[in-house]
Chains A and B, each alone.
Chain A
């Protein structure tokens, strides 16, 4: 144990110290160059290590992943589009895609709507009440999905009929004289998936609330005042004046949650591990890569995920360009 902690300390000191010495040495080297060359080399000294880290850990592996997606399970032979064909004709994988689609349709929209609701309503409380209620809603953001799934056991847990129920939901069922339900097994109307979504929404609403609340507070008062003079009611003011002005933030929150949902893994892995028709792309990817050891399928799944994310990526870059132009 002590050895481990010493190792970690060494890593911190060595990592930071090493990086500092590296930067210092490279900088000295660049300074020893003549005139124009110094100015040319220096930016690469400063930005180089970061670019290297991104290249080695994201860009290069992404290219290799693309390559693997056209190869067999241990990446020893090219198989053309077979991995994609296999996946897209496999009924279980198609239901995985459908489940993910449900997550995509439901979670971002509900997260934005709930966050907006809390932001608007909490603003009307007295400052103390506002701060307290916002902290409570925001709190789960700090909790890992594993932690959140553990926490929600106190609500969803199931004990066989006859024994005392230890999950709140089944206790409520008991009050109404109904039999206890093993919630994670109920596939009707995808109820089990919906219950898992609740856990994710529980952790995300705080994020949506904070961003939207700060956007609402940034809406200029005179625009609202003008609406009031024209005789608009509170509801009309909110939907016709406030919402259009906070729309960019609504889109931001929506897309951020959307990306998170597209690659959702932890919450499904910890609760059902994909059983009872709750599987999603992120969990299936992990299964193919780690349990099934089929790097071809795993890579093909990631490439499909990447294709689905590309529109968001394009939007992100465009948005950034537009903002830079306004700087």
Chain B
């Protein structure tokens, strides 16, 4: 949505420290409640992590929580699930391959739209042209439009062009679907930059092209980073577009492979937790290390339809 939220600053945190609601004012019930909630939030993840390191027998003959009670029973532990799921195994699903494919899909689908959107955002911010405001309002409206509106014709178009199952098909789709948000975030950020800097560059005789590369791009790094993280997470975590345009063949990505593995009832069922962990580890690491930029992007009004 477009409502901007004021980013919290350290000054504001300190300011709140007086009276009965500031930091450190928590009573025991509050502390216990928050701790309890955090535990509920973590328990499912813990379950997955523990199961992923347990043998097939251990997984099916006792609950994962029993491993917490007797962690020293070494017969239950194994790394074999990971070794198996990353290579060819009975289930016929190769997570190692899918994991690499996820990177192959995600990196270009993250980097390429940024460049295109940055140019557009510059035109929307620093250039005067007929139709500018109308086009931008359409882009704002498109932020809430679900990608589903485009899928039926695209699927037909792709199959007539023979693009289904190729990386190019998903790259292009993610570039198109990510574009409204990219332009929106970057334009909002650029319009907060001091106009005087651009004016003086103009007076010095710099062209738009030079101003863009030398001034605006370096100044917009935080917004570029915010969008990059969003887009990376969306593309990596996407199931629908990958399922439609890449399918389950050799080009399949981690989310689709993991979903395929869920259907296993016999052989390969013990591999689900390790496959799950392999699928979520990259976004988790990106997220934890770049949380600051992610939050900044969110509070500046990022939403994707």
Contact = CB atoms under 8 A, between A and B. Distances in A.
A123 B51 CA distance: 34
Given A49-B119, A142-B286, A123 B305 contact: no
Contacts of B21: 123-124, 234
B34 A123 contact: no
Interface in A139-159: 139-147, 149-155, 159
Q: Is the interface of A mostly helix, strand, loop or mixed?
A: helix
B31 to A, nearest CB: 7
Interface residues of A, number: 124
Given A43-B132, A49-B116, A151-B45, A252 B144 contact: no
A320 B137 contact: yes
Interface in A76-131: 118, 121-127, 129-130
A121 to B, nearest CB: 5
A303 to B, nearest CB: 8
Which of B146, B243, B272 is the most central at the interface, judged by chain A CB atoms within 10 Å of its CB? B146
B103 interface: yes
A23 to B, nearest CB: 6
Interface in A1-59: 1, 4-5, 7-8, 11-12, 15-16, 19-20, 23-24, 27, 31, 40, 42-44, 46-47, 49-51, 53-54, 56-59
B140 interface: yes
A191 interface: no
B145 A137 contact: no
A151 B274 CA distance: 10
B280 A143 contact: yes
B122 interface: yes
A214 interface: yes
Contact of A312 (B59, B144, B175): B144
A32 to B, nearest CB: 13
B22 interface: yes
Interface in B100-148: 100-101, 103-104, 107-108, 111-113, 115-117, 119-120, 122-124, 127-129, 132, 135, 137, 139-148
Given A150-B258, A165-B63, A259-B146, A248 B155 contact: no
Contact of A5 (B12, B104, B111): B104
Contacts of B42: 136
A122 B34 contact: yes
Contact of A46 (B113, B122, B280, B286): B122
A287 interface: no
Contacts of B283: 142-144
Interface centre among A143, A155, A316, A321 (most CB of B within 10 A): A316
Given A19-B116, A214-B7, A47 B63 contact: no
B5, B117, B129 interface centre (most CB from chain A within 10 Å): B5
Contact of A50 (B5, B63, B116, B279): B116
A240 interface: no
Interface residues of B, number: 134
B13 A168 contact: no
Nearest to B276: A150
Given A31-B207, A137-B37, A144-B279, A56 B119 contact: no
A155 B59 CA distance: 13
Contact of B108 (A11, A23, A214): A11
Interface of B: 1-8, 12-13, 15-16, 19-26, 30-31, 33-35, 37-38, 41-48, 51, 59-65, 97, 100-101, 103-104, 107-108, 111-113, 115-117, 119-120, 122-124, 127-129, 132, 135, 137, 139-157, 167-168, 171-173, 175-177, 179-180, 182-183, 191, 207-209, 212, 233, 236-240, 243-244, 251, 255, 258-259, 262, 272-273, 275-276, 279-280, 283-284, 286-288, 291, 295, 298-299, 301, 303, 305
Given A61-B149, A147-B255, A171-B65, 12 more contacts: A8-B107, A50-B119, A61-B154, A118-B37, A129-B31, A142-B283, A215-B5, A259-B146, A265-B240, A282-B148, A306-B145, A317-B137
Q: Which 10 A-B pairs have the closest CB atoms?
A: A57-B176, A154-B47, A144-B237, A50-B120, A142-B287, A150-B276, A61-B150, A46-B123, A218-B6, A43-B129
Interface of A: 1, 4-5, 7-8, 11-12, 15-16, 19-20, 23-24, 27, 31, 40, 42-44, 46-47, 49-51, 53-54, 56-62, 64-65, 68, 75, 118, 121-127, 129-130, 132-133, 135-147, 149-155, 159, 163-168, 171, 202, 207, 210-211, 213-215, 217-218, 221, 224, 228, 234, 248-249, 251-252, 255-256, 259, 262-263, 265-266, 269-270, 282, 285-286, 289-290, 295, 298-299, 302, 305-306, 309, 312-313, 316-317, 319-321, 323, 327
